Amino acid sequence: MLMRTDPFRELDRLAQQLTGVSGTWSRPSAMPMDAYREGEEYVIALDLPGVAKEAIDIDVERNMLTVKAERRPLVKADDVQMELSERPLGVFSRQLVLADTLDTERISADYEAGVLTLRIPIAERAKPRKIAIGGQPDHKQIRS
């Protein structure tokens, strides 16, 4: 139902973990996701812990689905001294090529407990259907 668009995304993620460098607008970090079919819908769940709902942007153009989010540092008082900072900050993005069998006009999105869930219905034209066999055309008898 979907294709990965960047085969080097996993290598970038590993490099980010080793270097501790977070995503930027020009080079966003990947966000982990699950994708599966549930009945007549295709479901994509993306992990975005600590991201405000207002900081998530979802676009679809033709068959390209793009999800971008930004996690900003918490505003701290002047007398706060950071001792440890391991939680990733910055820009996160994921692009997916959706199959033609999905109805991109009816995508729904929910965000709860740091998980963005997109539900994409299977297009009617992609669902299995029965084909009726037509009867023989009526031939009128010609009388002389």
Instruction: Look up the pTM and report it.
Output: 0.68
Residue 122: DSSP 8-state:
B
Written as one letter, the residue type at 38 is E
Residue of higher predicted confidence among 29 and 32 = 32
Phi, psi of 121 (to 5 degrees): -65, 150
Q: List, for residues 68-106, the tens digit of each pLDDT value.
A: 999 887 777 788 887 877 777 888 899 999 998 999 999
Residue of higher predicted confidence among 31 and 20 = 31
Report helix, strand or coil for 9.
helix
Supply the pLDDT for residue 21.
47
